[in-house]
Chains A and B, each alone.
Chain A
């Protein structure tokens, strides 16, 4: 699987080139175009499990705003191309997993992963809720490429020791890092008056991928300018 990212950072699409019979799994609705002989299978889970587990996986993915179903694309006997896009203007980045690290991806940021990658769902607990991040994160393990997207531009930060990142802007991070949610300034008053509120203090060694913008923040700025909906 070869990934070429086009038209960064505002109008990004990814061109994925697959070898003969190679597979790529993407979130539902991400496909823009593909070779004519590409096969598509829609499923809750690529690996078959018990019915209960399958439903649970789908439901948790729904809560994680990733959609219930995933599409697995399989290239034909001579290989093929697959173009994936995002719903909102924004960036994409490709992260290569080597088998040793686990990647945590903010729900909503997942676009696609290679055959050798397994995707799970993790509950990040209350710190996640207080920090304005999503409660549920996706966990990627295995070997292969993972494609993520975000509203705004994605930029990596290599952490060795400690680093502070604004909450709400974390797209993904390596699980060799841990974070705690703390106040931004010296006191709680200055943290909130300064508009920064809570921040994520990362510690350890690894990479955090941040996004320059959060769609929720932009969306809420649009609210006063949008025509209200009638209550039903």
Chain B
């Protein structure tokens, strides 16, 4: 894994609040982009919609379809704005892999395989999706977060609030468990956390949407029974 290497020259603007990436697709090459994330592109760029990843992808909440953008004649530019306001980050995979939280995928080289992995009840109990996206192969990968990204290098063990996990190297293993003892599980407000072990990198986000939604919910008007 190398953050600086890339086959697609790109720039990031607006991060960490409204991160957007502008990618140059070299002539003859193709870029795979999360559906709905394309903001603008050169008119020479050709778009194909593919049903990739099958049922697992659909169940993971990422949608069944993914778009492929090709620059057939000359190098061409494409702007990608993820639907969630936040940060974007990039990694170049070198025959290795990383897991992404299901909504975090933004774009990748077509050589990267993106599969939904059923995380079973670990995912269920942590309040997150039941699926993680496993990205493997050699090439570029971009992902986004709600809020800013913080990157943590793990050499031993690290604990992350499950709702803040965005991505992690596949060299790390994790377990979902209560933060402290039983008292802390119910009273600490932290609930269940993911304990990562091994050696690798974790990317976390500074915000999580359920907290924001709970706040907004308290400002909803209460409709009385008489109103229709």
Residues of A within 8 A of B (CB): 6-7, 10-13, 15, 27-42, 67-69, 71, 81, 83, 85, 87-89, 215, 219-220, 222-224, 226-231
- Closest chain A residue to B195, Cβ basis: A36
Q: Does B147 contact A (CB under 8 A)?
A: yes
Check A7–B16 contact: CB distance below 8 A: yes
Measured CB to CB, the closest approach of chain A to B164, in angstroms, equals 5
* Closest residue of B by beta carbon distance from A215: B215
Rounded to whole Å, the gap between the CB of A46 and the closest CB of chain B is 14
Taking the nearest CB of chain A, how far is it from the CB of B114, in angstroms?
Answer: 25
Q: Which of A31, A67, A89, A227 contacts B179 (CB 8 A)?
A: A31
**What are 21 A-B residue pairs whose CB atoms fall within 8 Å in the complex?**
A7-B16, A7-B87, A7-B147, A15-B150, A27-B189, A28-B188, A32-B164, A36-B157, A36-B158, A36-B195, A36-B197, A41-B180, A69-B187, A71-B190, A85-B147, A88-B211, A219-B216, A222-B219, A226-B216, A226-B220, A228-B223
We find that the number of chain B residues with CB closer than 8 angstroms to chain A is 44
Is B225 a contact partner of A231 (Cβ separation < 8 A)?
A: yes
For B161, list chain A residues within 8 Å (CB): 31-33
* Nearest chain B CB to A229 CB, angstrom units: 5
Kindly list 11 other residue pairs between chains A and B, CB separation below 8 angstroms, not including A11-B86, A13-B206, A37-B156. A11-B17, A28-B188, A29-B188, A33-B204, A40-B180, A41-B184, A83-B150, A219-B215, A226-B216, A229-B222, A229-B223
Given A228-B222, A228-B223, is A32 in contact with B157 using a C-beta cutoff of 8 Å? no
Residues from chain B with a CB closer than 8 A to the CB of A10 are 16-17
CA distance A226 to B223 in the complex (A): 12
Indicate whether A87 sits within 8 Å of B212 (C-beta atoms), given known contacts A7-B16, A13-B150. Answer: yes
Residue pair B157, A89 in contact (C-beta under 8 Å): no
Q: What chain A residues lie within 8 Å of B206 (beta carbons)?
A: 6-7, 11-13, 32, 85
Q: Are A37 and B157 in contact (CB under 8 A)?
A: yes
A74 nearest CB across to chain B (Å): 11
Q: Are B147 and A231 in contact (CB under 8 A)?
A: no
Closest residue of chain A to B191 (Cβ to Cβ) is A29
Interchain CA distance A85-B205 in the complex, whole Å:
9
Asked if residues B202 and A33 are in contact (CB atoms below 8 Å), the reply is yes
Give the number of A-B contacts (CB < 8 Å).
140
B131-186 with Cβ < 8 A to chain A: 147-148, 150, 152, 156-161, 164, 179-180, 183-184
A62 smallest CB distance to B (angstroms):
12
Q: A28-B187, A32-B161, A36-B159 are in contact. Are A11 and B223 (CB under 8 A)?
A: no
Asked whether A34 and B159 contact (CB < 8 A) given A219-B215, A231-B222, A231-B225, the answer is yes
Asked whether B207 is an interface residue with its Cβ less than 8 Å from the other chain, the reply is: yes
CB of B224 within 8 A of chain A? yes
Question: Which residues on the A side are within 8 Å of B217 (C-beta)?
Answer: 229
Q: Top 5 nearest A-B pairs by Cβ distance?
A: A36-B157, A28-B189, A29-B189, A7-B148, A228-B223
Is B220 in contact with A223, judged by CB distance below 8 angstroms?
Answer: yes
Instruction: Determine how close the nearest CB of chain A comes to the CB of B133; give it in whole angstroms.
Output: 21
Cα distance, A127 to B146, chains bound together (Å): 38
Write out, one digit per residue, whether chain B residues 188-200 have a CB within 8 A of any chain A CB (1) or not (0).
Answer: 1110000111000
Q: Does B43 contact A (CB under 8 A)?
A: no
From B214, which residue of chain A is reached at the shortest CB distance? A87
Q: What residues of A have a CB within 8 angstroms of the CB of B158 in the complex? A: 33-36
> Of B180, B184, B204, B219, which contacts A32 at CB under 8 A?
B204
Residues of A within 8 A of B184 (CB): 40-42, 71
Q: Which of B156, B164, B183, B224 contacts A85 (CB 8 A)?
A: B164
